[in-house]
Amino acid sequence: MTAIAVLASGRGTNLMALERAMAAGEVPGTLALVAADREAPALRWAGEQGLATFFADARQIGMAEWERRLLEALDASQADLIVLAGFMRVLSPDFVERFQQRIVNVHPSLLPAFPGLDAIGQALSHGVRVTGVTVHFVDRGLDAGPIILQEALAVRQGEPRAELEARVHAVEHRLLPQAVRLLSLGRLEVRGRIVHILEG
């Protein structure tokens, strides 16, 4: 069974969605480690569930030292793959290379549109008619890795931002476990920039 590490910085709703999918047997894996770069509700929730956790404040020790300590925790947990779920930092090229095609991220836009912070705000300020969610492999670029899954959402005229955010999050909570399931089952093959989903 696949051992999965989750990196989080915030509330942990994608982490919780992934855990629910595992508990329901939809994702063949276990949560081997939950790691955070700051004090976060996601970390507290993981501790309450009895999950293995890692915490160090990257703002105090620096990202290089944070990654060094995280690598020790990942080795101890024997994690097979890493999921970024609301993780708000850019991993170093060396770290990404070590886990090539074993790190996935969920992003609240239809990449390559609106990478980086506040993707929903970016989309609204541009007046787009359609936005969505992307799950992708992490590479050296900012939200630039090969795309695994995407789903579009219509932006309703006059819709409050909070309502759009809620709809986007609902898609994230469904799409991320689907992508992790495919990766756990070995059904993803990357050829160039294209991710092919193999028959299962």
The catalytic residue positions are 107
Q: How far apart are CA 87 and CA 96, in angstroms?
A: 14
Distances (CA, A) of 98 to 75, 79, 82, 196: 12, 13, 11, 22
The token duo for 85 is: 């779920």
Look at residue 129 and give its three-state secondary structure.
Answer: coil
The token duo for 115 is: 């990478």
Distances (CA, A) of 51 to 30, 34, 63, 149: 10, 7, 24, 28
136 and 84 in contact (C-beta within 8 Å)? Answer: no
Instruction: Return the biggest CA–CA distance within the chain.
Output: 49
Q: How far apart are CA 146 and CA 159, in angstroms?
A: 31
